[in-house]
Chain A
Amino acid sequence: MEKKEYTITVYTENHIGLLNRIAIIFSRRKINIDSLNTSPSEVAGIHRFNIVIDETVEVVQKLVRQIEKQVEVLKAYYNTNDEIIWQELALYKVPTSEIAEKAIVERLLRQHGANAVAIRNDYTVFETTGHREETDRLIKVLEPYGLIEFVRSARVAIIKNSKGFHEKIREFEQYAPSETVRENEYLNKGEKVFSM
């Protein structure tokens, strides 16, 4: 089984300690989390985790089920990169003297879609958003001009074919358990198969 980048999206209640409960599901199996982001979701009061790992689909499926098993987790999904739209935000601090003097830097920044978010006498902070390779590329570009600081945020991702969690939460708020898609080779009824 081939390892791939998977983005796991987890909808949860907003409770203290839940981040740890989810994180140890990975660390217990010695799986490194490449990126982790928590944020509000489209539904008020529901939190959304984005977790990126490099693993085989079998491992990812098991992890997702372990995550869903947690009392305060509503639902977890996993997606490959072609099933999501994702972005990361990066900040770069460079000496203002370099930027001001060298016109080439300004052009390079424009080429990479970077914006200045702060300009001081001694330094300037640029930001750019994009995929990992894009934000990485700008590091390479800025290094010769005295890159002072660099930081990148975790991945945030939108699932292309998701209808959002509004409907799902209503299902959860009803008494009966909800139905979701789960594949099973034998039954080969991809759709309408129940997972949790």
Chain B
Amino acid sequence: MNTQQLEAPVKVAEKVKMHSGSEILLKALLAEKVKTIFGYPGGAIMPIYDALFDYMDQLEHILVRHEQGAIHAAQGFARTSGKVGVVFATSGPGATNLVTGLADAMIDSTPLVCITGQVFAHLLGTDAFQETDVINITTPITKWNYQVTDASEIGEAMAKAFYIARTGRPGPVLIDITKNAQIQQVPFAQYIPCNYIRSYRPKPFVRLEYIEEAAKLINEAERPYILFGQGIILGRAEEEFKAFVEKSGIPAAWTILGESALATDHPQNVGMLGMHGNYGPNVLTNECDVLIAIGMRFDDRVTGRLDKYARQAKIIHLDIDPSEIDKNIKATVPVWGDCKETLPLLMNRVEAKKHTAWLERFNEFTAEENKQVIQPEFNPDTEVLSMAEVIDQLNKLTGGDAVIVTDVGQHQMVACRYAKFTKSRSNITSGGLGTMGFCLPAAIGAKMGAPERTVIGIAGDGGIQMTIQELGTIMQYEVPVKIIILNNQFLGMVRQWQELFNSRRYSFVNITSPDYVTVAKGYHIPAQKVETREDLVPALKTMLDHPGSYLLEIMVGKENNVFPMVPQGCGVSEIRLK
């Protein structure tokens, strides 16, 4: 730590007012411009909640129904707002209930600051009531964590927490505060934000020679191809990216976390990568000569089998996290840095081109996929609805302006494939961890992070039941979030795999649902069940026109599959259309 920062408050210590650790914490949150906290009280965090009572006019606290709901809501909030999500939880079970969300935020690079209460410092290690070693439990799933046992540490710990969470490759930070430190009175002059940690390099140094090498490769390329991920959104580089794409004329495909960084209908947006991605973007990965990966990490769901992935191509990898370079795919030219800085540098060095013939290749595949998969999905010859046609109709009604929050499974892949987006920060999903139960709480947070936007949570009948208690939060705070349950009466994705790879041995995928309309009614949330095609559009309209929250249960084909699909263990060009 910068020693000046440490010494300053100490020198004036005698003149300054005494404050409890809890107050210092809340002052830190205010100084970091936090307005919304998602949390749940309990014994070991009671002093903080007591202090919060006096800050009710400045800090909005959303009382969730389960701590997992709090952290997913904070994730949704962080993703739509671009701010750091803040979570309060108590010790022991409160803290362990955060674990799934921390792991999710870690793998999806979501900036969070989680505050957990802890037993009194003198009780640490005694198996005290609701004591758990939350620091060690959360070490692998936090970017940084720290246990505070003395109130004088709180200001500095909070400053570091916010700085670490939001800078560089963002991630979750957990601060565990023992109860004595929350109560303890210490002199506190003012909160000093952190903007430097000696051992921490948020951004790697940008090397121009690498940019030049990359530009040279791009200029010489005949079939260059851009893959983009969430890095563009996290780096707030959507404009820079669009300018680069348009000048270079290169087709660009997205990972599901990067999806809304470029408008869906942009002529160079060729679609989705990966296991259930589009036909062309997968197959042509193995035909391009230069692959430009921007803010993405070559996840196995994107690459399929690595030894059959883009072997012919030279790889240019732009990433802010040096450990991502060469992790899965060896980079020919690594471009370390924040893409907000590197993309304009690269753009200035690439020639303005139009890769018309190469783009046409993508269009050919799109036409084939359209014929074989998309049109049959949008206009099924069955009486029962398909997930895809629901999304298609939703697009027509929203014009692509809504925030779509999904859960995990078939509906997620369908929503990511077919939802249209006109704005960034619009596709909120659990990508890396694949956390079922993410949708409902994340949608609450997403709406609070972007109150001016329409937020639609789309979940399956499996995932919704994992965190359905958060309907209570929606009820209590009247969060005007729309919820669509695509009910196929199965854990659809697992069932699809069992059908395709386990000879239809449907092992424990048959899940029953409550009457969701009645459940919603219990929470005073208007709801409707849709079973027929003619009811679909009117119901969607009713939902969208309703000023408050609204739940729509839509019955869809029981045994529909998501295609195309790159089966596990296959290369991307072995993608199956049926």
List A residues at the B interface (Cβ < 8 Å).
Answer: 12-13, 16-17, 20-21, 24, 28, 61-62, 65-66, 68-69, 71-74, 172-173, 175-179, 184, 186-187, 189, 193-196
Neighbouring B residues of A179 by C-beta, 8 Å: 205
- A68–B323 CB distance below 8 A: yes
B262 to chain A, nearest CB (A): 28
The 7 residue pairs across chains A and B that have the minimum distance between CB atoms: A65-B323, A177-B205, A71-B144, A186-B332, A74-B199, A69-B323, A177-B201
Q: Chain A contact residues: over half helix, strand or loop, or mixed?
A: loop
Contact digits for B515-552, partner A, Cβ 8 Å, 1 yes 0 no: 00000000000000000000000000000000000000
5 new A-B contacts, CB < 8 A, other than A28-B140, A69-B321, are A24-B139, A24-B140, A71-B197, A73-B199, A177-B203
Q: How far is the CA of A172 from the CA of B164 in the complex (A)?
A: 17
Query: What are 24 of the A-B contact pairs (CB < 8 Å)?
Result: A17-B135, A17-B139, A61-B326, A65-B322, A65-B327, A68-B322, A69-B321, A71-B144, A71-B164, A71-B197, A72-B199, A74-B198, A74-B199, A175-B196, A177-B201, A177-B203, A177-B204, A178-B205, A186-B332, A189-B209, A194-B204, A194-B207, A196-B201, A196-B322
**In the complex, residue of chain A having the shortest beta-carbon distance to the beta carbon of B2:** A173
Max chain A CB contacts within 10 Å: which of B136, B321, B323, B327? B323
- Do residues A66 and B323 form an inter-chain contact, with CB atoms below 8 A? yes
- Judge whether B199 and A172 touch: CB under 8 Å: yes
Q: Does B145 contact A (CB under 8 A)?
A: yes
Instruction: Say whether A62 contacts B327, CB under 8 Å.
Output: yes
Q: Which of B136, B204, B205 has the most CB of A within 10 A?
A: B205
Which of chain B's residues 183-237 have a Cβ closer than 8 Å to chain A? 196-201, 203-205, 207, 209-210, 213
CB-CB < 8 A to A195: which residues of B?
Answer: 322
CA distance A79 to B122 in the complex (A): 43
Q: How far is the CA of A66 from the CA of B106 in the complex (A)?
A: 14
> How many residues of chain B get a CB closer than 8 Å to chain A's CBs?
33
Closest-CB distance, B111 to chain A (whole angstroms) = 14
Q: Which B residues are in CB contact (< 8 Å) with A173? A: 198
Q: Please measure, in the bound complex, the distance between the C-alpha atom of A37 and the C-alpha atom of B321, giving whole angstroms.
A: 28
Please, how many angstroms separate the alpha-carbon atoms of A184 and B326 in the complex? Answer: 10
A21 and B139 contacting across the interface, CB-CB below 8 Å:
yes
In angstroms, Cα B209 to Cα A184, docked, is: 13
* A residues in contact with B210, CB < 8 Å: 187, 194
Q: Is A17 touching B333 in the complex (CB atoms < 8 A)?
A: no
Determine whether the beta carbon of B204 is less than 8 Å from that of A71.
Answer: no
Q: Which residues of A contact B164 (CB under 8 A)?
A: 71
Chain B: CB-nearest residue to A13:
B199
| Docked-complex contact A20 and B136, CB < 8 angstroms | yes
B140 — which chain A residues lie within 8 A by C-beta?
Answer: 24, 28
Q: Which residues of A contact B326 (CB under 8 A)?
A: 61-62
Task: Say how far A46's CB is from chain B's closest CB, in angstroms.
Answer: 9
Residues from 160 to 181 in B contacting A, C-beta threshold 8 Å = 164
Q: Closest CB of chain B to A75's CB: distance in Å?
A: 9
CA distance A60 to B88 in the complex (A): 38
B297 interface residue, CB < 8 Å from A?
A: no
The answer to whether the Cβ of B334 comes within 8 Å of any Cβ in the partner chain is yes
